[in-house]
Amino acid sequence: MLASRTPVVYRAKPMTRPIMGFVRNALGLDPPASPDDPTPENRFHPWDQSPSPDLRERAARIKAMATCPVTHKDIQFTCPLSGIPTHHSREAWEKDTEYHKSKRYELLKKVNIYEHDLRSGRPFPEFDFPQDQDYDRMVNMSNWDLFFYTRSFYSMDTEFQLAAVTKMLSYPITIGSVLHQYSPYSLNPKGPITLEGLKSLAALRYTLYPEQSGRFRAGQDTPIRIFILGTRAEAQLPGHVWKQLQYLIPDTSIELHFVGPESFYDREKRSYVQSSTETIVKRIDEKMQLFYHTDFFHVFHEAQDFFPYDPYNDVFFCFHPGFAAPETEEYWMGDTMKALMQTKCAVFTTGFSKEDLLRDISIVQDKYGSELDMLMEPVPNVFGSTKWELNDTNPHEVYQFNMYIAGFRGKRYHAIEL
Amino acid sequence: MLEPSPYQDHKTWKMTPAMIRARQPFFKKNLMGLVILLGVTGTIYTYTYKMLNKDSDFADVPIPPIDEKELEQLKKEYELEKIRRAQK
């Protein structure tokens, strides 16, 4: 994802003949679009004849690993509408009425064109992110478009630019959108946040906005610790992407803790670093630090490395953890989940799809139902990735990163009146 | 010259599609606001214009009743005054 980024310095062109441009505009004569601009037409290639070797290889992998939903044989036929290998043969493709009725080929086509766009070698001015927000300019967190506009990002005119940028920014901005004072998620019944959720978020916002809570003292601010458990792709995002989260919350310093055996990839050794004692620290600036803890959360929890937890300062995020997925369930639902419940801090989790998230939440509720409070009902994530992704072992499974979000927390007991 | 906004097309000065999308949720309320503001200004203007055109040279003021003799007297005075002016 990141390798495809070409370092391009974007500069606004000097306005050449603005008056002529204005006249042409008034007459409705638009200048012809540049052939470099991405359109669904010029980014469409069948994957097995793709100009990019990566995608030809991926098509071969789908053909090798996936099975046809109709004939249950191997996949040999490339759907002409989406350009992705989906069925065994043309007959099977024609017979698959569910495929045509649900218009799944449109989503598959989006997967196809977005992947080709990232490999097209066009300039990517949208990856030049803005710096500090001016003091008197508010950020609107209602949706991606308003967020980009109020933060003065590059003007993302096409779905291609949105797809490329939102996939990266989805992780920091999802965290930001939950914690921010102008969060798009409001209290029940108008929004998904429960009363318990508001209590947790209010505690966190007390830390995040020291000036508003009237406890601003220079040199004494405690950093907010954001733990990201089971990290994979998100731990490899470069520092300037995480810094976008800090620009949303400029008053408080942030410590991001990536926890999980796949949280630090050593590019020289080409393997994940694994250690339950050492922590890799990356300092972005005085306001933000990244910590990589390369083992399971319960290991550090039992060693009391993160102790003490404070619901005013600590919050947990799990980006598509797969609590209920058969491959990962055993890692999550045992000691790790117990440790999470003991911290009594807010935990927010996202899913690839509604079913994925509901499955995760229901397994947690089944196992720990009496020990937890729901903080946030499962809802579509406002700041999910808009790039459509494809599961290589089943090309009929199309999803987006961070599509749905929910939150829970180990139950806190109230003081008993005597 | 001012720095061109990144949300304006550099050649045509049009709003970019991203800006139009960002403004979409506010379009209805902005339009309603425009209608209300124009309505208030418009009503004030029309009201004032109609008020000004109502001026009709005191036609609505009744002439008080006048005595015949007094009228004669006034007419005479008027004639004398006319002659006096002509002599001057």
Chain A residues with CB-CB distance to B24 below 8 A:
145
Mean pLDDT, residues B25-54 taken together: 94
- For chains A and B, CB pairs below 8 A equal 48
Q: A195-208 vs A159-179: helix axis angle to the nearest 10?
A: 90
What band does A47 get if pLDDT is binned at 50, 70 and 90?
confident
pLDDT value at position A72? 83
**Do the strands A314-318 and A346-351 form a parallel or antiparallel pair, or are they unpaired?**
parallel
More confident residue, A222 or A321: A321
Q: CA-CA distance, A17 to A32, in Å (whole number)? A: 17
Residue of A nearest to B21 (CA): A145
Q: Please report the ipTM that was assigned to this predicted complex.
A: 0.75
Interface check B68 vs A, CB under 8 A:
no
Q: Edge-to-edge strands of the sheet including A254-259?
A: A279-285, A288-293, A254-259, A224-229, A314-318, A346-351, A404-410, A372-380
Cis ω before A184 (30° cut-off from 0): no
Task: Return the amino acid letter for B9.
Answer: D
pLDDT in tens, A282-298: 898 888 999 999 889 99
Interface check B11 vs A, CB under 8 A:
yes
Q: Hey, what CATH topology would domain A169-384+394-410 get?
A: Rossmann fold (3.40.50)
Interface check A250 vs B, CB under 8 A:
no
Q: Which two tokens stand for residue A238?
A: 């470069």
Interface check B29 vs A, CB under 8 A:
no
Indicate the range of A158-167, A391-400, B26-35 predicted with least confidence: A391-400
pLDDT value at position A15? 52
Chain A residues with CB-CB distance to B22 below 8 A:
145-146, 148-149
pLDDT in tens, A154-203: 988 889 999 999 999 999 999 999 999 999 999 988 889 999 999 999 99
Q: What is the mean pLDDT of chain A?
A: 85
Chain A residues with CB-CB distance to B13 below 8 A:
18, 21-22, 25
The pLDDT of residue A277 is above 70: yes
Task: Return the amino acid letter for B87.
Answer: Q
What band does A3 get if pLDDT is binned at 50, 70 and 90?
very low
Task: Mark yes or no for CB contact B21/A22 under 8 Å.
Answer: no
| DSSP structural state of residue A346 | E
Mean pLDDT, residues A238-265 taken together: 90
Cis ω before A189 (30° cut-off from 0): yes
Indicate the range of A245-249, A329-333, B78-82 predicted with least confidence: A329-333
Chain B residues with CB-CB distance to A22 below 8 A:
12-13
Task: Mark yes or no for CB contact B13/A24 under 8 Å.
Answer: no
Mean pLDDT, residues A21-40 taken together: 72
Chain B residues with CB-CB distance to A16 below 8 A:
11
Interface check B19 vs A, CB under 8 A:
yes
pLDDT value at position A180? 93
What band does A1 get if pLDDT is binned at 50, 70 and 90?
very low
What band does A414 get if pLDDT is binned at 50, 70 and 90?
low
Domain boundaries, chain A: 47-118, 169-384+394-410
What is the three-class DSSP state of A242? helix
Q: Which of A148, A149, A153 to substitute to test the interface with B, most B CBs within 10 Å?
A: A149
The pLDDT of residue A84 is above 60: yes
Mean pLDDT, residues A216-235 taken together: 79
The pLDDT of residue A4 is above 60: no
Report whether A301 contacts A334 (CB < 8 A). Answer: no
Interface check B14 vs A, CB under 8 A:
yes
The pLDDT of residue B59 is above 50: yes
Task: Mark yes or no for CB contact B25/A149 under 8 Å.
Answer: no
Chain A residues with CB-CB distance to B21 below 8 A:
145
